[in-house]
Amino acid sequence: MVARLQNTIRDYAWGSRTALPELLGVEPDGNPQAELWMGAHESASSLVGGESLYQLVSAEPAAVLGAETASRFEGRFPFLAKLLAAEQPLSIQAHPSRSQAVDGYARDEAAGIPRDAADRNYKDSWPKPEILIALGPFDALVGFRPLDESVALLEALGAPELQELADLLRDGKLRDAFTHFMSSDRDSIRPLVAALSEACRRYDGTTWAVEVETLDKLCVDFPDDPGVLAALLLNRVRLERFQAVYLPAGNVHAYLHGTGFEVMANSDNVLRGGLTRKHVDVPELVSVVDFEPLASPVLEGTDDAAGITAYETGCEYFAVRRIDVTGELEVPAEGPRIVACVEGTVTVGAEGTEDTVELSTGQSAFLRGPEGPCNLRGSGTAFVVSTG
| Positions marked catalytic | 272
Tell which residue, 75, 84, 8, has the closest CA to residue 47: 8
- Classify 199 as helix, strand or coil: helix
**Cα 357 to Cα 3: distance, rounded to the nearest angstrom:** 7
**Cα 341 to Cα 381: distance, rounded to the nearest angstrom:** 6
**Cα 122 to Cα 285: distance, rounded to the nearest angstrom:** 11
Torsion sign across C-alpha atoms 36, 40, 41, 46 = positive
**259, 136 Cβ separation under 8 angstroms:** yes
Measure CA 386 to chain center. Answer: 17
Q: Which residues of 100-119 are buried (b: 16+ CB within 10 A; e: fewer)?
A: bbbebbeebeeeeeeeeeee
Torsion sign across C-alpha atoms 368, 369, 373, 379 = positive
Tell which residue, 41, 44, 42, has the closest CA to residue 8: 44
State the DSSP H helix or E strand holding residue 234, giving kind and residue range, or none if neither.
Answer: strand 234-239
Tell which residue, 88, 80, 81, has the closest CA to residue 33: 88
- Classify 85 as helix, strand or coil: strand
Measure CA 124 to chain center. Answer: 17
Helices 147-157, 186-202: axis angle to 10 degrees equals: 70
